Amino acid sequence: MRIRRGSVSELETLWNHSCSNTYHYFIKGMTNKTIEFWTVENISNELIGELYIFWDSEDKDEADGINRAYLYALRIHKDYQGKGLSSQLMNTVLNRVKEKGFSEVTVGIDNDHYEKLHAMYTGWGFKEFIKKQDCDFHYRDMDNKPVVYEKPIELYLKQV
């Protein structure tokens, strides 16, 4: 297994060259270097995991472009879960955040699998509750506006 920074072309392939506003938002962010795409690949060089770093956000509680970064969409393919890859990916990304000179990082914990996610993220040190928010600034609707959810997610902070 290998953890590394992914490229725009890999993101395009992973997202199947989607026409969605979210896809274009991510491509633009990667091109402008406000978003980094990190991946885990297996021995066949297939992408089996992902995590995104937002260096800045519309919501400055998430990421302010100076001291605080936001982590988004940690995913590991179901066939590879339970092997410690999430922890390895998280540690690599946290080291990248420190390397860039940021001192804080946030993560949103959504309502799907809340107990499992909360335990996982607090285990990694995301213990300071910031707020509940119902707006996902990084998932865009058909009008290219941030998606609003019925149930808010919780935003947590970690010092790095």
pTM of the full structure: 0.94
Span 138-149, mean pLDDT? 93
Give the model's confidence band at 93: pLDDT under 50 very low, under 70 low, under 90 confident, else very high: very high
Residue 38, domain CATH: 3.40.630.30
**Residue 15 pLDDT > 90:** no
- pLDDT of 121 reads 97
User: Residue written as tokens 């809340």?
Assistant: 114
Q: What distances in angstroms separate CA 2 from CA 41, 75, 83, 85, 126, one per listed residue?
A: 5, 15, 13, 10, 25
Show the domain range for 63.
Answer: 2-159
> What's the total number of domains in the chain?
1
